[in-house]
Amino acid sequence: MTSPSKVTKRRKEKSNNGVAEKPEKQTVPDDNKNGKGKETKKFKYGPLPSFPSQRVWSRGIIIIGVVIYIFYFSKSTKESVLAKQSETYIRRSQVVECSTEFLEDIKQYKGCIPEKCGRYVSDKIVTVQEADILKKLAIRVMADGGSSGGASIMDLHTGALSYKDTFINVYAQSGENKVLTAEEKKIYQLVRKKIQTSIAESFGIEFNSLHLTYPTFFSRLTGVEPKTRHDEYWHEHIDKRTYESFHYTSLLYLNDYEKDYKGGRFIFLDNIEKPTKNVTVEPKKGRVLMFTSGHENPHYVERVTEGQRFAITVSFTCDSTKAIADPKM
């Protein structure tokens, strides 16, 4: 016979849909768990410090860091060297897209339209001996004048020479034949023809479509403080905007960057309004730099800090009405 207590127990078990109730499991407090029963991480050197609004401050610091990074790198420019002073190049070039303004202007001159725009450097057009003769000529003539500021020029074709804060005409004072020797004129004409030939070959144009144009001049740059606007040679500019007749520009360097002077590098900009990348040419005695004169080649000359930088600018036009003749023999 079954006892009443056992019958009652069975009825209770069946009353819960036939599933026996299980006794609740009691939890034992654990020092390694937080109030929610999750394990808390132990730190080797104790808990990390915290303070009110910690998350807000952290985000603020990150935002400030990003702003500083963007500001710094948006102002800085990357620089690449097209020609190093320590290297010798038969010919090195960089092609750039011709500006619309340049193409619109030059299309009227048959045989003078470049196959491509760009910049060329060569150390094999002019010899070091020829460069030395032209440098001695520049030094001798400029000894009779020279700017009070940091930039002096001497134009072989007009005789214009910087003199203090103005210009004088050395040909009017002494006569062209007394200023230039026959040998110097011969060397200058030879150098001019070699540069003209190289420009024609480099840009795929006809030699006879090029004409020497004004101004073509010697320059001596120093670190002396400027006295007039003509002394501030380090400003960004575009040759075609400064001299309307220019279509092709060339420079012949007569002494060496780093050896004879500090600074004075020639620097192309990718954009004159918002430059982001510079392309640099380091001057070297006898080195010739040639480039199209349009808006595709904005540039400036780095300010000289020590010594004297000598060069000669030889410019060409496609417009025969803007041509000038070589100095007479």
Residues designated as active site: 309
Phi, psi of 209 (to 5 degrees): -80, -15
- Count of residues in the chain: 329
Cβ–Cβ under 8 Å, residues 255 and 135: yes
Structure tokens at 119: 């910049």
- Cis amide leading into 215 (omega within 30): yes
| Beta strand residue intervals within 16-169, DSSP E | 78-83, 92-96, 117-122, 146-147, 151-155, 160-164, 166-169
Cβ–Cβ under 8 Å, residues 213 and 324: yes
Cβ–Cβ under 8 Å, residues 195 and 126: yes
Q: Cα-Cα-Cα-Cα dihedral of 226, 231, 234, 237, to 10°?
A: 140
Residues in CB range of 30: below 8 A, 6 or more apart? none
Rg (CA), the chain: 38
Tell me the C-alpha distance between 164 and 326, whole Å: 27
Cβ–Cβ under 8 Å, residues 72 and 65: no
Amino acid at 105: D
Burial 223-255 (b: 16+ CB within 10 A, else e): bbebeeebbebbeeebbbeebebbbbbbbbbbb
Tell me the C-alpha distance between 187 and 71, whole Å: 51
For 124, half-sphere exposure in the C-beta direction (CA atoms, 13 angstrom radius) is 7
